[in-house]
Structure 1
């Protein structure tokens, strides 16, 4: 396409010159032999109307107003006419678009009408080629165009294997749910390179390791608050402190992840989480083995709350990092990202089921404090595994087609410069955290599909966190009278999430994530799965709760993974970390407020009416989720098989 654009520009310039001031080549050939000839600067020859400017190419090497003036030496001016013509117009470009004045003398007289028609046709061709070139990946556009113009000026007579890359990309254009044209090349399903494949396996191993420790804290700390401290209020305060720290640290993590290696950030956050839980265990151990060593009880609720909140902050960093890593490892390929997310979730939930059952066994023979012992070694080992992953350079992966469409409506306009270079001089400050948070919110809010996708992610995420962090422990302790039953319900939840991820993998492989298996399909099933929580009101028995909790988690996992992939593929890479930090912070803020309110209600009144009120609110939210699915489906292309979402 670059060669065709160069040829079209040359032909257009010669026709314009022919129509206005007479043929350039004729003046060269008619000059006396032996005289050096000055040809008008190519900047004048190639001057385009403002409507046809190629400013979008944004490369100094392609500036058409700065091309050099050519001088034809006397020896060349004395050569055969064909030679002189080839200097101004390479022989490869002689075609039906060659100006009549540069063709044999018998056709030198070009009718004005024919010239006008040809000028109009060339103008239209240049406009089309310029648009195609501007929409192609920037690196390919610059390289291809520079090669073509160098060849045009006689600086490079060779050919390039990449000369047709832009045209090949343009030939595969389709339309995405945002209504913008995208390049089919970004949807290729080529297998990952060997180094990337190894990194993916390492990532899955690290995910399985840290999930073991996560179950220990997720079950252990709420039960410590309920059984050791003896109040649901402390269980709620633990959730509030944990969630508040996640909001703050997630906001901070967004900009950090856009500047640093996400795997290094993830490894550091997990090592710090292991340290905070170790400190928590140490306080309980000191009170048990050295009572009164400090004159007071060391494991005070407030101090445990502070450590748990700090652990929650580092969890916010690691959760945000885990949203950024998949597209960086896999590349901007919607189907492959979704498959990788689903495989990661399978490893995550297999480990979660094992961890929950292990915690359940420990709870049946020891206290919740003993369950915390699983966490530090699991997280330290996971931190080491994640630190071994070498991330590919960001510049090596082409920008997602969805991200290009998002940029077209203004998302990412403030982040054209590398965030690392942007902030290298001024460092990292609290004001930068707020700026990053606003940029993440802007990236989500500016695109309608992103807004609805984020809403359909946040609402069930909040309910899921409340279920596992507060509602299940309270139900096990208050409704069932058996704290160990919480482990069975958490295990059922993890098992359901694993099945949801497996189901998503099968759907994507079988149907290519097309048609009914897109995000709206999963959102509707997820909304129906939330209604299963009415069991907590009408049939609070373990045998009824376990399968319904599993089904709700199954549908939630499939929906969450599908929506997560939609955002990962759609967001510009420079804003991906900040956008997910905003989504995570919004979810954690709602979890924080809801946990505080529910904890107060559980202490003030009986558990049964509180669960009834929770289910009534969920019923209303289910209706809004169906509406969100409808809005997302309305934004999808007419032929869903052509563009998975």
Structure 2
């Protein structure tokens, strides 16, 4: 019963006072951003739906949901473009400054529709205005909304990418801190999203009309930018020259970003379709994500406009969906140890998708807002299962893919797979939303705005297919047939990588890439290499970010900074490099001290196969103790902590010996007549 309180206390104590301040400011800004975003997206979709319905009265041809599909599909496609364009900027400037500027630009883009409507005669919705009379709209070509919404998608993609990058700047590279912060931010993000959706549907659109209901968006975006400007990331940056001679031009960087993004997609596809333990991610992640977005962006507007006669009420349904996401994320945050794999959550999601089967047979009374709340309540469990599955599945993807290496030096496995999955979702949504929207329009024309038969296919049948695909995917990996699997593909993911990399495998020796003989001794008590000198000035993370990773022998692609949710791979690659360096040093140290073939096991165990003669060496050990000689080929064990102690003892002994020899040498130099000069 005290578990939630314990989680909160543990999370609070995990951060320093500066980090708490930064997190508080960042969360306040992200809530402002999300509130304004919900007002913008919901209002624009409702506005487009109403305007195209008005156009139908003149042309007698319905294109409403086809155009809404184009509007939302292109917006999401242009988000990918925005994420690529922003990558070179976050390499050169503080991330929080780029984020603040990007959200300001987003606010300006959102105001273009307000300016366009006002300039063409649009005004606020008059009080007691007839419900289906939209004469207060501005007089402009409705298709003009599409390019404006596309440009907004570019800036939207910029903000969304930076939003996934900045946590590392705020709390550093500690994985536990990052996970807790990501969960905490997601919870408050959905709280604001739920409030924004309900406020838009129940207050802003009825009062201002959906042509001006998003006038709060630029204000909230500006407030978010101001808040984020005061974040102190604590990252020391070297002063860059006025002219960035060492950096590629922006155009060149963007072109390279596009190339590497497509290479990532190609590599990710190969990884997914050639591994049993990854092939299920296509339906389990990408198809499930498509279903969730189609539910909010296509089915909700169709139900609101055709079933209930009020497009604004789609935001009530979206609000219920957002609240379900909030509960799903909160449940995973509080009770993360109850479920070890994403499979139970995905199965819940697959079953919950079947809830939409009531929609084709439902004939609610029009203009009754209570019916919208019923739909919102049914969307809640669907989004609960999806959000819980999405959070746990993202963690699974990150954990499992960091344990393999891609076959190309330009991209990492994690970034490549995420790029492929997200691109698959974007393409699927862009095509399906237009085609299915056209189908809904044709059914609406034939049946006098009755679309139940269309909802039967686009909702009930389509979501049943998605449900079957997702449910089937949960049985593909090895060990997934259990109700609550403890492990997938016989791969434990609940341990740190450094322990797994040293895991003992009989007959397989973990050898260092370089022996201790290859190190250059430059002074007493110290070892240095060019890589060590480089690490003394910059961390692995900074080397990757600045493009100097090849000097460290790191195989990492800058494409990870160009796609959605890719920047986290940068941190993981830096951590992997640190662990590899530690492993190499530990193996060198053990072989130097113990005179044997060394293999590190999990936990604190070190395995040694003696290679000297029976009476050779003075470092033979048994169970971590000196004094017992070992025969060649004999296996010994030593504790890793004991290994460090032995190294320290040897250094102290050598210091004492060196000091003794130095004194003897000084004595001999002081008394040359005592030196033995006989041959």
- The TM tier, using the shorter chain, reads 0.5 to 0.7
Alignment of 1:622-637 (within 5 A): 622-631=467-476, 633=480, 635=488, 637=490
Alignment of 1:414-493 (within 5 A): 424-429=247-252, 431-441=255-265, 444-445=268-269, 446=271, 448=275, 452-453=280-281, 455-493=283-321
C-alpha displacement of 1:643: 7.2
Q: Which of 99, 110, 114 is the equivalent residue of 1:281? A: 114
1:553 partnered with 2:376? no
C-alpha displacement of 1:583: 4.3
Structure 1 stretch 320-329 or stretch 271-280: which is displaced more?
Answer: 320-329
What do the CA deviations read for 1:472-518 (whole angstroms, capped 9, x no partner)? 0111110222334323211111111111111111112xx2xxx6243
Q: What is the RMSD of the two structures over their aligned residues, measured on CA atoms?
A: 3.8
Counterpart of 1:120 in structure 2 is: none
Task: Specify whether residues 203 and 232 from structure 1 end up closer, same or farther in structure 2 by C-alpha distance, changes over 3 A only.
Answer: same
Name the SS for the 2:15 alignment partner. Answer: coil
C-alpha displacement of 1:322: 2.4
More helix by share: 1
Alignment of 1:507-546 (within 5 A): 507-508=335-336, 511=337, 516-539=339-362, 541=364, 542=371, 544-546=374-376
What do the CA deviations read for 1:101-147 (whole angstroms, capped 9, x no partner)? xxxxxxxxxxxxxxxxxxxxxxxxxxxxxxxxxxxxxxxxxxxxxxx
Counterpart of 2:324 in structure 1 is: 496
Counterpart of 2:76 in structure 1 is: 243
Task: Specify whether residues 520 and 273 from structure 1 end up closer, same or farther in structure 2 by C-alpha distance, changes over 3 A only.
Answer: same
**Contact 2:264/2:411, CA 8 A, preserved across alignment:** no
C-alpha displacement of 1:582: 5.2
Q: Distance in 2 between matches of 1:266 and 1:327?
A: 14
Task: Specify whether residues 550 and 561 from structure 1 end up closer, same or farther in structure 2 by C-alpha distance, changes over 3 A only.
Answer: same
What do the CA deviations read for 1:383-434 (whole angstroms, capped 9, x no partner)? 2323333446599xxxxxxxxxxxxxxxxxxxxxxxxx99823543353132
What do the CA deviations read for 1:258-289 (whole angstroms, capped 9, x no partner)? 66544333323211111111111011112226
Q: Distance in 2 between matches of 1:224 and 1:517?
A: 44
**Contact 2:66/2:441, CA 8 A, preserved across alignment:** yes
Structure 1 stretch 445-454 or stretch 244-253: which is displaced more?
Answer: 445-454
Counterpart of 1:564 in structure 2 is: 394
**Contact 1:440/1:581, CA 8 A, preserved across alignment:** yes
Counterpart of 1:110 in structure 2 is: none
Counterpart of 1:299 in structure 2 is: 140
1:367 partnered with 2:209? yes
Task: Specify whether residues 253 and 529 from structure 1 end up closer, same or farther in structure 2 by C-alpha distance, changes over 3 A only.
Answer: farther
Alignment of 1:43-58 (within 5 A): none
**Contact 1:204/1:344, CA 8 A, preserved across alignment:** yes
TM-score normalised over the length of structure 2: 0.56
Q: How many residues align?
A: 426
**Contact 1:250/1:317, CA 8 A, preserved across alignment:** yes
Task: Specify whether residues 193 and 270 from structure 1 end up closer, same or farther in structure 2 by C-alpha distance, changes over 3 A only.
Answer: same
Q: Distance in 2 between matches of 1:310 and 1:239?
A: 12
Name the SS for the 1:368 alignment partner. Answer: coil
1:322 partnered with 2:163? yes
Counterpart of 2:669 in structure 1 is: none
**Contact 1:222/1:235, CA 8 A, preserved across alignment:** yes
**Contact 2:42/2:312, CA 8 A, preserved across alignment:** no
What do the CA deviations read for 1:571-590 (whole angstroms, capped 9, x no partner)? 67996778755544432232
If asked which structure has higher relative contact order (CA below 8 Å, sep 6+), I would say 1
Q: Distance in 2 between matches of 1:613 and 1:435?
A: 38
**Contact 1:218/1:469, CA 8 A, preserved across alignment:** no
Structure 1 stretch 362-371 or stretch 305-314: which is displaced more?
Answer: 362-371
Counterpart of 2:229 in structure 1 is: 387
TM-score normalised over the length of structure 1: 0.59
Task: Specify whether residues 578 and 380 from structure 1 end up closer, same or farther in structure 2 by C-alpha distance, changes over 3 A only.
Answer: farther
Q: Distance in 2 between matches of 1:262 and 1:585?
A: 25
**Contact 1:277/1:375, CA 8 A, preserved across alignment:** yes
**Contact 1:273/1:379, CA 8 A, preserved across alignment:** yes
Structure 1 unmatched runs, 5+: 1-187, 291-295, 396-420
Counterpart of 2:198 in structure 1 is: 357
Task: Specify whether residues 362 and 213 from structure 1 end up closer, same or farther in structure 2 by C-alpha distance, changes over 3 A only.
Answer: same
1:313 partnered with 2:149? no
Task: Specify whether residues 436 and 389 from structure 1 end up closer, same or farther in structure 2 by C-alpha distance, changes over 3 A only.
Answer: farther
C-alpha displacement of 1:638: 6.2
**Contact 1:253/1:317, CA 8 A, preserved across alignment:** yes
Q: Distance in 2 between matches of 1:323 and 1:533?
A: 32
Counterpart of 1:23 in structure 2 is: none
Task: Specify whether residues 324 and 316 from structure 1 end up closer, same or farther in structure 2 by C-alpha distance, changes over 3 A only.
Answer: same
1:263 partnered with 2:96? yes
Q: Which of 177, 180, 184 is the equivalent residue of 1:343? A: 184
